[in-house]
Amino acid sequence: MKLCFLVEENYRHDGMPVEVIRRLHAWGHQVDVLRPGGSLHRMTEVVSAGSHDAWVLKTVSGGPGLTLLEAAASAGMTTVNDARSIRGVRDKALAAAIGRSRGLPMPTTYAAAKPELLAEIPESDYPLVVKPADGSSGRAVHLLAAPDRLAALLPELRGEGLLIAQPYVPNAGVDIKVYCVGDDFYATERRSPLHPDRPHRERRVPLSREVAALAAQVGAVYGLDLYGLDVLLGPDGPVVVDVNDFPSFRQVPDAASRVANAVLALAAGGRPTAAVTTPVPVAAGDTL
C-alpha cells in the first residue's frame, strides 16, 4: 500500500506515529510523511487524485494538518480518520452539540468567543470548568469555584480563541481514558489536570461494560475509526468530557502494530469520505 502520513513537528519523535510508520515500512508498505507545520505548501498541487491509498492525520488541533487532509478527501482519497469527523471533535463546542443531540452523556456546554461573555453563565452552573474549544493535553483548563473568580482569569483567557465552559462533573480525580483501535477498546486511568494531588502515572484498568458501550457509541456518533475518549465517573454515571481523533494509545499493548493494522484495513476498505459522496442535484426553482 501507499500511504501519506501528516505528522506535526510535536510528534516527530513521539513513539506513536513514528513506530506505526516504521512498522508499515517493515511490512513492505510505502509511507510518505508530510510535516504540515514545518513546510511551505503549494496548496494548488498538494494532492493529486489516486496518489495514495490513504492519508492519515496525526497532528495537533489548529495546525494546517486538517486542511491538507480535507484537500486529500476532496480529491476522493480515503482519509484516516474521516476528515469531517475530525472537525466534529477537534472543536469541543461542536463536539458537545453533536454529542448531546445524539444522546451522549456530556455536560451542558456553553461557548463564548470573548471571555467576558462567560459572566452570563448562571451561578447554579458553578463550579465551572473553562477550556479552549481547540485545546489539547490539558492546556488552559481552569476550574472556577464561583462567578467572582472569573474577573481574575480574563487576561489569561483572552487570546485562547473560542472558549467553552461546563459545570464541573464531580469525580475522584482521575479520568478513564478509553482507546479504540479496530474493534478493540482499552481503558486506562489517568490523573485529571484539575486534581494535581493525584498520582501521575497512567495505568491500564479493566473496562466496564457500561463504559465500553459508551465508547462504541462515541465512535458511531462522530464517525471515527481511530479515537479515544475521556470519561469521568460522575454521581449519575459515566460522562464523556473529551473525544480525540488519533490519541496516544498509551498503555495499549503493542499499540504500533495494532494501529498500523487498523490503518491498513481502513485504507483497503476504501471507505468513501464525506466529501466524495454524490451530492443530491437541486432542480431549478427548488428552494434550499
Ligand X SMILES: Nc1ncnc2c1ncn2[C@@H]1O[C@H](COP(=O)(O)OP(=O)(O)O)[C@@H](O)[C@H]1O
* Of residues 125 and 230, the one with the C-beta less far from Mg ion: 230
* Of residues 36 and 135, the one with the C-beta less far from Mg ion: 135
Q: How many CA atoms lie within 13 A of 183 on its CB side?
A: 0
The secondary structure of residue 39, as a DSSP letter, is S
Give the three cell numbers for residue 127.
463550579
CB count within 10 Å of CB 194 equals 16
Distance CA 69, CA 34 (A): 11
**Backbone φ, ψ for residue 232 (5° rounding):** -110, 135
Tell me how far, at minimum, the Cβ of 160 lies from Mg ion, in Å: 16
Q: Does 242 bind Mg ion (CB under 5 A)?
A: yes
* Of residues 59 and 192, the one with the C-beta less far from ligand X: 192
Chain positions 167 to 196 lying near ligand X, rule: CB under 6 A, are 168-169, 171, 175, 192-194
Q: Does 241 bind ligand X (CB under 6 A)?
A: yes
Q: Which of 131, 259, 260, 273 binds ligand X (CB under 6 A)?
A: 131
Distance CA 6, CA 281 (A): 34
Tell me how far, at minimum, the Cβ of 213 lies from ligand X, in Å: 20
| Per-residue contact string for residues 63-102; x = within reach of ligand X by CB under 6 A | ----------------------------------------
Tell me how far, at minimum, the Cβ of 242 lies from Mg ion, in Å: 3
Apex CA 27: angle with CA 269 and CA 72, to 5°? Answer: 45
Tell me how far, at minimum, the Cβ of 258 lies from ligand X, in Å: 22
Residues 6+ apart with CB under 8 A from 230: 175, 176, 177, 240, 241, 242, 243, 244
Q: Which residues bind ligand X (CB under 6 A)?
A: 107, 129, 131, 135-139, 141, 166, 168-169, 171, 175, 192-194, 230, 232, 241-242
